[in-house]
Structure 1
Amino acid sequence: MSLLKDAMPLMKETPPPPQVPFPWILPSLFAALNVVLLVIFSGYFFAFPCRWLAQNGEWAFPIITGPLFILTFFSLVSLNFSDPGILHQGSVEQDPMMVYVVWVNHRAFRLQWCEKCCFHRPPRTHHCPWCNICVEDFDHHCKWVNNCIGHRNFRFFMLLVLSLCLYSGAVLVTCIIFLLRTAHLPFSMNKASVILVAGIAVGFLVPLLLLLVIQAVSVSAAERSHEGKCTYLQRYNPFDQGCANNWYLTICAPLGPKYMSEAIWLQSMVGPEWVPMPSLHSPTCPSALSPSPPWPPAPTSGCLQAREGSPREW
Structure 2
Amino acid sequence: MPLLKDATPMVKELRPPPPVPLCWFLPSLFAAFNVVLLVIFSGLFFAFPCRWLAQHGNWAFPTVTGLLFALTFFSLITLNFSDPGILHRGSGEQSPMTVHVVWVNHRAFRLQWCPKCCFHRPPRTYHCPWCNICVEDFDHHCKWVNNCVGNRNFRFFMLLVLSLCLYSGSLLVTCLLFLLRTSHLPFCIDKAMAILVAVPAAGFLVLHFLLLTIQVLSVSAAERSYEGKLFLFEKSPVNGIAAF
Q: After TM superposition, is the score higher than 0.5? A: yes
Give the TM-score category using the shorter length. Answer: 0.7 to 0.9
C-alpha distance in 2 between matches for 1:160 and 1:51: 26
Cα offset for 1:92? 2.1
Which residue is 1:239 aligned to? none
Q: What pairs with 1:100-139 in structure 2 (closer than 5 Å)?
A: 100-139=100-139
C-alpha distance in 2 between matches for 1:165 and 1:129: 29
Which residue is 2:224 aligned to? 224
Q: 1:105 to 1:78 in 2, by over 3 A?
A: same
Which residue is 1:304 aligned to? none
Task: Pick 1 or 2: higher relative contact order, CA cutoff 8 A, min separation 6.
Answer: 1
- The answer on whether the counterparts of 1:22 and 1:130 sit within 8 Å (CA) in structure 2 is no
Give the match's secondary structure for 2:87: coil
Q: 1:88 to 1:127 in 2, by over 3 A?
A: same
Amino acid at match of 1:175: C
Q: What pairs with 1:74-93 in structure 2 (closer than 5 Å)?
A: 74-93=74-93
C-alpha distance in 2 between matches for 1:185 and 1:61: 20
Query: What is the aligned length?
Result: 222
Q: What pairs with 1:1-314 in structure 2 (closer than 5 Å)?
A: 23-230=23-230, 289=241
TM-score between the two structures when normalised by the length of structure 2: 0.86
Which residue is 1:299 aligned to? none
- What's the C-alpha RMSD, in Å, of the aligned pairs? 2.2
Amino acid at match of 2:199: G
Larger Rg over CA atoms: 2
TM-score between the two structures when normalised by the length of structure 1: 0.67
**Structure 1 spans left out of the alignment, 5+ residues:** 1-20, 234-278, 282-286, 291-313
Q: 1:181 to 1:280 in 2, by over 3 A?
A: closer
C-alpha distance in 1 between matches for 2:202 and 2:71: 19
Q: 1:232 to 1:92 in 2, by over 3 A?
A: closer
C-alpha distance in 2 between matches for 1:62 and 1:112: 52
- The answer on whether the counterparts of 1:79 and 1:147 sit within 8 Å (CA) in structure 2 is yes
- The answer on whether the counterparts of 1:117 and 1:134 sit within 8 Å (CA) in structure 2 is yes
C-alpha distance in 1 between matches for 2:95 and 2:237: 14
Identity of matched residues, %: 76
C-alpha distance in 1 between matches for 2:148 and 2:115: 19
